[in-house]
Amino acid sequence: MAAFHRWRQRAQELRAETYAIYLACRDPGVPWYARGLAAAIVAYALSPIDLIPDPIPVLGQVDDLVLVPLGIALLLRLIPGSVMAECRERARAELVGGVPSRGRATAAVVAIWLAAAALIAGLIWRALGG
pLDDT tens, 44-69? 877 777 777 767 777 777 777 788 88
Would the pTM of this model clear 0.75, i.e. be above it?
A: no
Query: How many Å is the Cα radius of gyration of the chain?
Result: 18
The answer on 51 and 61 residing in a single domain is yes
The answer on 125 and 73 residing in a single domain is no
Domain count across the chain: 2
Longest Cα–Cα distance in the chain: 64
**For residue 56, what pLDDT is reported?**
76
Tell me the one-letter amino acid at 87. C
The answer on 96 and 110 residing in a single domain is no
Tell me the one-letter amino acid at 53. P
Question: Domain residues for 108?
Answer: 101-130
**For residue 9, what pLDDT is reported?**
80
The answer on 87 and 47 residing in a single domain is yes
CA distances from 16 to 9, 13, 51, 57, 129 (A): 11, 5, 27, 31, 51
> From CA 123, how far away is CA 129, in angstroms rounded?
10
The answer on 82 and 22 residing in a single domain is yes
The answer on 23 and 35 residing in a single domain is yes
The residues of the chain scoring below 70 in pLDDT are 54, 97-105, 130
The answer on 56 and 111 residing in a single domain is no
